[in-house]
Every structure is written in C-alpha cells, then in structure tokens.
A and B are shown apart, each in its own frame.
Chain A
Amino acid sequence: MLKVIQNRIEQGCKTSSYPKEPINLYHRYRGVPIVDPDCPTEIVQQCADICPQEAIDVEAKTIDIGKCTFCGHCEVDGEGKFVRFSEDFGLGAANREDLITQGNLPDLAAHAKQEFKKLFGRSLQLRQVSAAGCNSCEADTNVLNTPFFDLSRFGIDFVASPRHADGIHVTGPISLNMKQALLDTYDAVPSPKIVIASGCCSISGGPFYGSDAVVGDLNSIIPVDLYIPGCPPHPLTTLHALLKFFKEN
C-alpha cells in the first residue's frame, strides 16, 4: 500500500491540458504538408519521383495525405522548395477529396455532419476494427486511453461490442480475409452509425497499395464519415479529429 502511495506521488498528474492549451510536438514531427504552388515543375517532379506512395500530383501540385506516410523524403529531397511539413497534427477531414491538398485543409468542425454533433457530441462509443492494420495505428489509438490523453474525459470510449457502439473506427488496408468480418461488425452497429477511416492504409491501402490481397479503400465498401491520415496518425491527430468532428460547432 505504501508503495502504491509513493508511486502515486512520484507520478503526479500527467494528463495533458490539450485542447484547452495548445500543444507542440518535437520539431522532427511532420504533420500537415504546405505546398508552394509557385514551385518549378522539375522540382515537383523530382519530389514525385522519390515519393514511395505516389502521393504527389505533379500537374496539380498537390499531395494526397490519404496516401502519404509522412516519411518526409520530398521535403528533404526538394530542399523544402516544393513542400514543407508544418508540424501541425490537425490532419483529419470529412471528405476524401479534401485530403488531396496544398496544405489548406478545410475547417473540420464546420465540414462535419452537424447532426452527428447533436447525437454523439456528449457521448461517443466506438468499436475499433483492425482489418489488417500493422499494429501501429492500433497501438496509437490504444494510447488515447493512457493518462496523458485520457480520452474518456471527453465522453469518448472504445467499447467491446458493436451493439454498444455508435460507430466503427477502422484501421488497416482491409485484407480480403478480414473483409467479411468487417462488414459483419458494421452491420451489427445500430443506425445511425459513424464510420471512421484511420491511417493511410484504410484510406488508400497505404504501404500495401496495389496488393491483390487487400481491398485498400474502406470507402469503396462502406461509406466513410471521417478520415484520419497518418502512418500511424499521431494520437493527437486522432484526438483533434474526434473533438472537432463531434464536439465543436
């Protein structure tokens, strides 16, 4: 008992004051890419050539952050002339096309489905389904339940049964072997229900795009309401997206 108290005192309170106070991540973290639209085409081409995810559209000078794994090679190789990563973790979006961007992501709170805020703004229960996720997305979603993030203080919880859930939070590129289990879980959630695609795998196949063993795009089998990019999304990216989408007007 004494040890419990000693440790409790040593640990103190570690819960983050986000979102009341802003929070800065270490500067090597990448986040929202900001594109210079005046960048010469040959530099954009050079960045596109090195991009492992084929996320850069040379003509439109955009980056698809639904494909991007945020490896940052384009920033280094193009010496920041085409793209700079802004360290802003607010990457969530309500529409797939918004993820093809020059860095000016629309305000998520305004673009979210407003009826969801009324229904789920005070209490949101999610069922997580990993459909061939590599365990980075899963691990950094789990982290939201640790004392630093303490997700349940916002009335948001991950629950054990789809019957208890208001929606599903999907990670992974959806292997063919998980497709049916995913659809069954979706069907088991009572309507109206939310679908969240978390991580570039569930949005575009991520590192596994082109594999014939995966579906690669969650939205092609069930309609997605909220996209959370990243490989994996930083826990703050997920927290930011959930708070903006469901709670902020």
Chain B
Amino acid sequence: MDKMLKITNGQAVPRASIPRVDFAEFSAALTEFVANDGFVVQMFAYQEAEKTLVLAVLRNTELYVISTEVRESFPSLTAKASEKFHLFEREIAEQYGVRPEGHPWLKMVRYHANATGADDVFGNDYSVDIPGNYEYFRVDGEAIHEVGVGPVHAGIIEPGHFRFQCAGEEVLHLEIQLGYQHRGVEQMLPSMPMKRMPIICEAIAGDTAIGHNLCLCQAIEALAGMQVLPGASITRCIALELERLANHIGDLGALSGDVAFNPPASYFGRIRGEFLNLLQVLCGNRFGKGLVRPGGVAHIMGQEQRQLLRDKLEEITPEIEHVCDLLFTAHTVVARFEHTGTVTKEMATDLGLVGYAGRACGLAYDARIAFPTECYQDLPANANKVTDGDVNSRAWVRREEVMHSLGLINLLLAKHEALEEEEQAVQARQVNLAADAFVVTVNEGWRGELSHAVLTDSEGKVDRYKIKDPSFHNWTGLAMSLRNQGISDFPLCNKSYNLSYCGFDL
C-alpha cells in the first residue's frame, strides 16, 4: 500500500503525482490489496506520450491510485490474484489492444474496434455482426439443451443476449453477452464541448441520470475549482434519493409481478410514477434530466417545490408501508423469493459486488457512507438485516432502503428550509479545467457504486474519460445466481438485480 497514492473522492491531484511503478510491483501491490478487503473501483488503460499506461483506483476504507506502463501484453491479474479484475482486464484488451496473458476467459466486452489501431486481441472483424469471432461457452452432452434469449426481449426492456446451458429445467451455466447498447460514450466525451457533457452523462443510463451526471459535475467542479452552494447540494441529494426510490419501488412491483402476485405490482407501478413526478416538480423532467449542472443545479428548489414534495411524501409513505407489508407477508411470495438465486458472501466478495446486490450478501459497502459527497456526511446510515444473498434479501434491502431514503428526504427538506442564503441557478458553460490533472468521483447510485475518472492534458482538455456503472461488477453476480437454478426463475433473479445494459455498454 505504501506504493500507492491515497486520494480523496472528488478532489483533483496532479497527474504527475500518480505513482508509476513497473508491472511486477503494480501486480504485487494490487494482489496484496485485494486479498486484504480491498476492491477495485476503476482499472483502465490510457495513452500518454505514445505509451500505454494502466491505472487502478482501489478502495478499502480509503481510495488509492497507482499506475504502470504496459506493452502488447501483461500477465493477467485475474489468473494470479482475483476475479475482481476479470472484466477490467477484458475491457483493457478491447479498448487498447493489450492482452492480459493467461486470462481464464478472454472474450470481448462490448464488441468494438480498439482505439489504438493495434491488432485485435479477439481476432474480430467488426464489419461482421456481434458476437463476431466468438463461440459461446457450451456444455455438451445428450441431456443438455441450450436456450438463447435476445438481444430483442419480450418486454419493453433494453437489449442483451442471454445463453443458458441447461440439463432439463436446471441451468448449469448462464452466459450474458452485452454490447448491443454500445454508443461510444467514453470515446465521445473528450472531444465534446462542456454544454453537451451533462446531456450525454444523463443518458449513460437514463434510470441513473442523476447519479451519473452527479459524477460528471463533481469531476468538473474539482478540476475547475468550482464551489457548490449548500442549497444546491441538498437539492442534488434529494434528487439522488428520489431516483433511488423510484427505481426500488418499481423493482419491488416488478418482482411481485414476476411471482404472479398482481396487486403490489399495480400499486408500486403507480407509486413509482409519483416519485418520477416529484423529479418533474424539481426540474421539469421525470428522470431529473437537466437538473444537475457543474457548479450547482439548473432549477432552484423553492418553498412551493418543497411543500409539494413534503405533502406527497406524507401521502404516500403509509401507502408504501402497507403495500410492502402486503408483499412481504404473502407466503406465496416469500416461498418464491427465499432461497432463489443465492450468491454467497464469499462469492460476492470475490466478484466485488456493489450496491444492494452486495449488501444483500452482507457486504455493507455504501459509497454514501464510505466516501460521502454533497451532504451525505451529515446524514444517518442505513443497515440491512436480511443478508442471505437470495432474491428475498435483495428485495428486503430495497424495502429497507426505500424507508431510509424517505427519511433522508424529510431531513434534507428541513435542512433546506433552514438555509438563509439566496441560491443561484446555474447552466452548463465552458470552464477551464486544471491542466495535467486527475480526479475520481464516486457516488452511491441506486444500483450501487458509480465512478467517473477524468485525466486532463497539458492544455486542460479532457484526455481520457472513464465511466464505471455498478452493473459492470454486478452482471457476473446475476450469472452466478442462476447456477443450478430452474430456468423459470430467471426473470425473478434478473429483476432482483435489475442491472443496466447501457450503463455497462457505454
């Protein structure tokens, strides 16, 4: 750990201060770190003076950064140290054409050509349709059958391909192939004028518009030395909690629908809309698009909006309690939720699951508590009681977080009311960023740990923009949940995670 630089969430450091060690040291430091309750927040490649560098941002109770130089290949950390690196290494191979030697399952991530023009690690010709030169993992045997689903699914849902290897009803293996949603976000962002950046980040994952955009805005604020007034900071937290509430409530309803218990599905479906409408009260958009901008918020929360929020919360809080009680005490529901799609704490730790997927397995990590931004350091934490790693636990964590978030919003509204200073609405404008700087922002989006990392060049332009959605960690968790499950439990398991396709595909 002594080789690494300790950094603070949302504070820029000079690029030159990022420790650069040779690969053997890098590998040894990371191996030791992840073996001692350490997790990977980001690990990505970038180019500097015609060299390819790999940078890792790690966390235990603090955040650290370390980097190294790589050439055409490097010995895989997944093979040597931990599964926590498996997707990061595949992503590096895809984006920069650098091969992690010995990686146990080196397949493409999103299916696109690399940025450096190096030979494609996967031998793909990208004029051929996805999955290109890749044979899906296959189990052979007389009693084995294969089920392929997607990319176009049977509901109103984003695209992705799921391939199940089954023996009768039992799933032996689920392979999840994403990439269909790839829009080139990371490639686009460095060349974008600043007025476009929040609009793009709000669309990284539309259900996490506030969360991702908050990561961007905090990064710009750190690099440009901008201050956010307390009122705007409170509004941001309220918006982030409303986003969490809308999604958790919607998922609880969908989980209920997936076990054919319709009343909560209808009620929660409608109540979810109430939270989207509250975001519309704040900023005119049901997903909070257009609210958060570098330096503050574009729409001030006034007395009228505060009152509308307060009244609506007072009205629907008892309804939510009652519908939750209806859902969680129905024995037919409990029978379907319990012991379905279980991931053990040990496996969750190995994979580095985050958010409710991790908390449902007993990994308490919550970025709002560990690395608080905005006004979270003054707010109470939540604790989860049901942590068995099954669908039931993931549903319970949502329920507990819903009640916790409702409490937080009431606290935040009171705080906002007590403020005396005038607020000023802000808009996205061109600002000068610090040259040769590096910043990492981490926020607890509704799905879990969101993180953006930005490197600027000698002119203060964005040189590399790296995004990580919590789904990047958690999709593997879903695949593991399906091991030895009935295939008909897939929708239920899937909804208990409800991961982002576009947040992963970028």
Contacts and interface: CB of A to CB of B under 8 A. Distances in A.
A213 B157 contact: no
Interface in B272-313: 272-273, 276-277, 280-287, 289-290, 298-299, 308
Contacts of A131: 159
A10 interface: yes
Contacts of A72: 284, 290, 298
Contact of A28 (B157, B181, B264, B283): B283
Interface string A214-248: 10000000000000000110100000000000000
B203 A206 contact: yes
Interface of chain B, main secondary structure: loop
B267 interface: yes
A173 B183 contact: yes
A198 B181 CA distance: 16
Contacts of A158: 155-156
A172 to B, nearest CB: 8
A210 interface: yes
Given A29-B284, A71-B199, A72-B284, A177 B290 contact: no
B180 interface: yes
Contacts of B330: 3
Interface in B407-438: 425, 427-429
Contact of A146 (B129, B270, B286, B427): B270
Contacts of B428: 52, 73
B206 A135 contact: yes
A71 B154 CA distance: 32
B158 interface: yes
B280 A136 contact: no
A3 B326 CA distance: 6
B57 to A, nearest CB: 25
A143 B287 CA distance: 13
Contacts of B151: 178, 181
A99 interface: no
Nearest to B195: A52
B200 A207 contact: yes
Contact of A10 (B188, B205, B264, B319): B319
A4 B266 CA distance: 12
Contacts of A178: 151, 159, 180-181
A110 interface: no
Interface in B134-165: 151-152, 154-159
Chain B CB count within 10 A is highest, among A70, A77, A132, A184, for A132
Contact of A128 (B156, B196, B273): B156
Given A29-B284, A146-B266, A77 B427 contact: yes
Nearest to A137: B206
B202 interface: yes
Interface residues of A, number: 71
Contact of A138 (B158, B270, B273, B329): B158
B267 A211 contact: no
A128 B153 CA distance: 9
Interface string A18-56: 000000011011100000000000000000001111000
A146 B273 contact: yes
A147 B269 contact: yes
Contacts of B277: 26
B159 A138 contact: no
Contact of A6 (B157, B270, B322, B425): B322
Contact of B203 (A6, A30, A208): A208
Given A6-B322, A50-B195, A53-B199, A76 B206 contact: no
Interface in A132-153: 132-143, 145-148
Interface string A69-97: 11111001100000000000000000000
The 6 closest A-B pairs by CB, nearest first: A136-B206, A213-B184, A134-B206, A160-B154, A28-B284, A146-B269
26 contacts: A3-B330, A7-B326, A11-B266, A69-B290, A72-B298, A76-B298, A77-B427, A129-B152, A130-B156, A132-B180, A132-B182, A134-B204, A135-B205, A136-B209, A146-B266, A148-B270, A162-B152, A177-B110, A177-B181, A184-B152, A207-B202, A207-B203, A208-B200, A213-B112, A213-B183, A232-B287
